[in-house]
Amino acid sequence: MPNLKYTFFVILISCLFACKKDEKTEIKPALPFAAAGTNQNDVENFQVTLNADSLKAGQTGKWTIEKGLVESKVYFSSDVKPDSKFNGMPGETYQLKWTVMANGTKYSESTVQVIFKPLKAVIGNNAPGNSTQFFLTGNKYDNGLWTIEGKYAKLLGLIAGGTVVPDINSPYVQFQGYANTSYKITWTTYYGSKSASATWEFKTGNYLEKEALYDLQLDPSSYRLAYENGHIVKLDLNASAAAWILRDTLQFPALQALTHLRFLDLQGSSVGEFPKIIGDKFRQLETLNFTSTKISSIPENIGMLSKLKQLILGYGGGIYSLPESFGDLESLEYFKCTAIGLEYIPESFSKLKKLKYLEANLNPIQRLPSKIGDLSNLEVLLVSTAENIPASISKLRNLRRMYFTTKTENSVLPDDFGSLSALDTLIMEGKYKELPSTFGNLDLKDFQLTGPALTALPYNFGNLKNLENLIIAGQFKSLPVSFTKLMKLKYCTLYSNELETLPADLGNLRRLVYLHVEYGKIKTVPESIGDLENLNEIRLDKNQIEELPAGFFNLPKITIIKMSTNKLKSLSDDFGKLSATLKTLYLYNNAYPPADGIRIKQLLPTTTVYVN
């Protein structure tokens, strides 16, 4: 029985092997499939180009987002193209599914992973060599925002053209801080719902001259600048539209770097006011020009300019008064303030011991300081006031030139006015009835006095032995006997509607070139006039002259004669003696007969003659 079981087992095993030998393996083909492409990591700029397999004829595809943040900035440029661009959010991981359809049936479906780099903010400094003024850039996507810890002067957006962007949102700004101050500046950039920030912490140094030049819109090589030992010593802002910033050191504090300035010209500029920074910081100044500006006052701190030598104001503005501190300008030598509306000059002005030149005319000044005589170095004085000149004026031993106008009804000069030993030019206007007896002690070369009141010249007027030019007006009837001692007199103009005679020895004035005596009552011309060998022009219009002496026709250099509006009854043939030099002759409005005028024209064929 056991043998039977064994035999059955062998037969079974044999059958099984026989069956296995005859069986064939059937391999089914793989289903068709289109891949979604490769995964992409650390993608910048929040956009990637997908690379799914190309579609075959009859196939369509579609991209969808399976995982990842979705908002308005997340999209496919074309969700049906295998190479679509995909825009995602920074710092996000996306799983994108690519589904392919063929003849209405799903052909394949696969996914790809895209990882975008996080959003990053960056601050750039385009002026690393600066100390307080920086030009910063922040990378911008949708928007940006500057935040600053620490008090600062200004933040100015520098985007030109296009849409106006608030300064705090501009990706390119000028930052102006204050010197030696700590700051923390943060730039936050936004992209959709994402944001990132960068921070710069620093401490400013001192203000730099190049920072000041940027604010003034000047190139360091500009002709408006001069340097010495590497520092700016000259700044020419003549007619500058940027000069107004000198008034605003809160926004433009870098201007305080110009501490080495010695010359500052603001003529015709936009400065508008006298900047306080000048007295506070520009203390090396030697020359300061405000001509044709609209400043209305001078600050007290001007007195801090102890090295200032030249100050020029004029023609613009309305400066009512000078501050008391003006007298502290201990180095001032030249001061011009013409036509600025000045009414008040403080007594402290007399402390300006080095002042040599003072020009303050065309102003409604009430009075000069009583101690103006303390200006011991004053050489030139040009001023107009409502009152008389102070008595102390006679102490100005170095005064060479004086122009003085007064509106007072009783104009007088100090009795010791003749003490001004250096005075060579004196021009005055006022209602002076007389001149002091010491007047003849002066060493004048040029004397001009206009006004309606003078009744006589001093008896010793002829002592002005160096007088060359004389213009004088008044109500005087005659000239002093000493008048013809003015041996150096070249130009003489006399206006007096009361003058009746000319000196008989007028011919002693041998150097006389020009004689002008109009609107008088002169009836005769002295015979000695013919001795005026250098006389070039004579004007005796509007007098009462009836005839001319024979000597009149002996003038060897005469070129112009004006005798109109007189009472000449006849014209002498002796006019012909003057034909060699005479170029112009005025004889109209006289009493001579017409025939005389015709004859004179014939006698003087090369002379321009104006007759009745």
Within its chain, how far is the Cα of 372 from the centroid? Answer: 33
pLDDT exceeds cutoff 80 at 10: no
* Predicted confidence (pLDDT) per residue in 102-135, tens digit: 988 999 999 999 999 999 999 999 999 999 999 9
Beta strands 194-203 and 85-87 are: unpaired
CATH 2.60.40.10 assigned to domain 40-116? The reply is yes
Q: Which residue has the tokens 């009744």?
A: 455
pLDDT exceeds cutoff 50 at 178: yes
Return d(Cα 295, Cα 301) in angstroms, integer: 15
pLDDT band per the 50, 70, 90 thresholds, residue 194 = very high
Return d(Cα 66, Cα 211) in angstroms, integer: 56
pLDDT exceeds cutoff 70 at 11: no
* Predicted confidence (pLDDT) per residue in 385-402, tens digit: 999 999 999 999 999 999
CB 108 within 8 A of CB 32: yes
The pLDDT, as a whole number, for residue 324 is: 98
Average pLDDT over residues 496-507: 97
Within its chain, how far is the Cα of 50 from the centroid? Answer: 62
* Predicted confidence (pLDDT) per residue in 332-381, tens digit: 999 999 999 999 999 999 999 999 999 999 999 999 999 999 999 999 99
For 55-193, list the strands marked E by DSSP. Answer: 59-67, 75-76, 85-87, 93-102, 105-116, 123-125, 133-138, 143-149, 154-157, 172-176, 182-191
Q: What is the CATH number of domain 500-612?
A: 3.80.10.10
Strand order in the sheet with 40-43: 40-43, 105-116, 93-102, 59-67
pLDDT exceeds cutoff 60 at 52: yes
pLDDT exceeds cutoff 60 at 21: no
Return d(Cα 326, Cα 164) in angstroms, integer: 47
The first and second tokens of residue 429, run together, are 């206007």
Cβ contacts of 457-464, under 8 Å, gap ≥ 24: 457/483, 458/434, 461/486, 462/486, 464/440
Return d(Cα 45, Cα 125) in angstroms, integer: 23
Amino acid identity for residue 39 in this structure: N
Return d(Cα 517, Cα 323) in angstroms, integer: 46
* Predicted confidence (pLDDT) per residue in 546-569, tens digit: 999 999 999 999 999 999 999 999
Phi, psi of 516 (to 5 degrees): -135, 110
pLDDT exceeds cutoff 90 at 33: no
pLDDT band per the 50, 70, 90 thresholds, residue 162 = low
17 or 345, greater pLDDT:
345
pLDDT exceeds cutoff 60 at 16: no
Residue whose C-alpha is closest to residue 174's, from 230, 119, 132: 132
* Predicted confidence (pLDDT) per residue in 271-293, tens digit: 999 999 999 999 999 999 999 99
Return d(Cα 400, Cα 418) in angstroms, integer: 13
The pLDDT, as a whole number, for residue 24 is: 46
Return d(Cα 395, Cα 379) in angstroms, integer: 12
Average pLDDT over residues 391-416: 97
pLDDT exceeds cutoff 90 at 201: yes
11 or 592, greater pLDDT:
592
Report the Cα–Cα distance between both ends of the chain, in Å, rounded: 187
* Predicted confidence (pLDDT) per residue in 67-95, tens digit: 999 999 999 999 999 999 999 999 999 99
CB 581 within 8 A of CB 557: yes
Return d(Cα 209, Cα 254) in angstroms, integer: 7
Task: Return all residues near 25 (Cβ < 8 A) that are at least 6 apart.
Answer: none
Among the residue ranges 118-132, 160-174, 423-437, 579-593, the one predicted with the least confidence is 160-174
The pLDDT, as a whole number, for residue 569 is: 97
The first and second tokens of residue 184, run together, are 């923390």
Residue whose C-alpha is closest to residue 603's, from 580, 586, 391, 508: 580
pLDDT band per the 50, 70, 90 thresholds, residue 164 = confident
Mean of the per-residue pLDDT values for the chain? 94
* Predicted confidence (pLDDT) per residue in 297-345, tens digit: 999 999 999 999 999 999 977 899 999 999 999 999 999 999 999 999 9
* Domain range summary for the chain, segments of one domain joined by +: 40-116, 123-203, 500-612
CA distances from 447 to 17, 206, 383, 429 (A): 154, 57, 16, 11
CB 510 within 8 A of CB 532: yes
Residue whose C-alpha is closest to residue 505's, from 484, 491, 524, 489: 484
pLDDT exceeds cutoff 80 at 25: no
pLDDT band per the 50, 70, 90 thresholds, residue 36 = confident
Residue 166's SS3 state is: coil
Task: Return all residues near 2 (Cβ < 8 A) that are at least 6 apart.
Answer: none
Return d(Cα 66, Cα 99) in angstroms, integer: 12
Average pLDDT over residues 197-202: 98
